[in-house]
C-alpha cells in the first residue's frame, strides 16, 4: 500500500491526471481557500525581507514565482509590508497544475512581466522542482537549503549555487 500523499500541490497534480477539468478546478479552488487561511499563521522566512530590501537597494527587481495562488501571495506580502517591494507576482494558473513548477511556465511569465531575458535573472528556490524549473527556463538558480539533507538534493538537481541556513 502506498503512503498517503500529504503535499497539497501533489494532490492537485494527481487530481489533474485523473479527474475532469471542472473537478480539478474545484480542488484548485479548495486549495486556494486553504492557502488564504494559512497566510494568517505563516511565519516569514528569516532574512527574506532584508534580502528583498538589499536587492531593491541595489536597483534589482524582485519577483515572486510560486506554485501557490497569486491571491494568497499578495495577501501575505501586504500583511508583512512587502507588497511595495515586489515587481511581479506569478502564482499557479487556476485549474492548470501542469503549468506549476517544474514546468518553466511560471518563470517565463515572470521574465516577461519584468521585461528581462533569462540571462539577466536569478531564481532562488527551496525545492528540487524549483531548481528544475529554473534550469528549464535557462535562469541561474540558487538552492535555498532550509532543512538538513536539502543541500545535497538541490545540488544534485543542478542548482548553480546552494546556500544552507541551518
- Report pLDDT for 7: 86
Residue 104, pLDDT > 70, answer yes
* Backbone angles phi and psi of 65, in degrees to 5: -125, 115
Q: What percent of the chain has pLDDT over 70?
A: 98
State the residue for C-alpha cell 506549476.
100
Strand ranges (DSSP E) for 21-121? 63-65, 88-90
**pLDDT score of 2:** 65
Identify the helix (H) or strand (E) that includes residue 145: strand 140-145
Task: Say what the alpha-carbon torsion angle 110, 66, 54, 142 is, to the nearest 10 degrees.
Answer: -90
Q: Which residue has the higher pLDDT, 4 or 41?
A: 41
Instruction: Tell me the C-alpha distance between 163 and 112, whole Å.
Output: 27
Contact 88, 64 (CB under 8 A): yes
- pLDDT higher than threshold 70 for residue 1: no
Q: What are the structural domains of the chain? A: 8-164 (3.40.50.1000)
Amino acid at each position: 500500500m502506498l503512503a498517503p500523499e500529504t503535499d497539497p500541490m501533489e494532490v492537485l497534480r494527481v487530481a489533474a491526471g485523473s479527474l475532469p477539468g471542472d473537478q480539478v478546478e474545484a480542488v484548485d479552488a479548495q486549495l486556494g481557500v486553504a492557502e488564504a487561511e494559512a497566510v494568517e499563521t505563516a511565519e516569514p522566512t528569516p532574512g527574506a525581507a532584508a534580502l528583498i530590501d538589499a536587492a531593491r537597494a541595489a536597483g534589482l527587481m524582485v519577483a515572486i514565482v510560486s506554485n501557490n495562488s497569486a491571491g494568497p501571495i499578495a495577501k501575505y506580502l501586504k500583511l508583512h509590508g512587502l507588497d511595495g517591494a515586489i515587481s511581479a507576482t506569478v502564482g499557479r494558473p487556476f485549474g492548470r497544475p501542469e503549468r506549476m513548477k517544474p514546468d518553466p511556465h511560471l518563470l517565463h511569465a515572470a521574465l516577461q512581466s519584468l521585461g528581462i531575458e533569462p540571462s539577466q535573472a536569478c531564481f532562488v528556490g527551496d525545492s528540487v522542482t524549483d531548481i528544475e524549473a529554473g534550469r528549464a527556463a535557462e535562469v541561474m538558480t540558487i538552492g535555498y537549503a532550509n532543512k538538513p539533507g536539502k543541500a545535497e538534493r538541490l545540488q544534485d538537481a543542478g542548482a548553480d549555487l546552494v546556500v544552507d541556513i541551518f
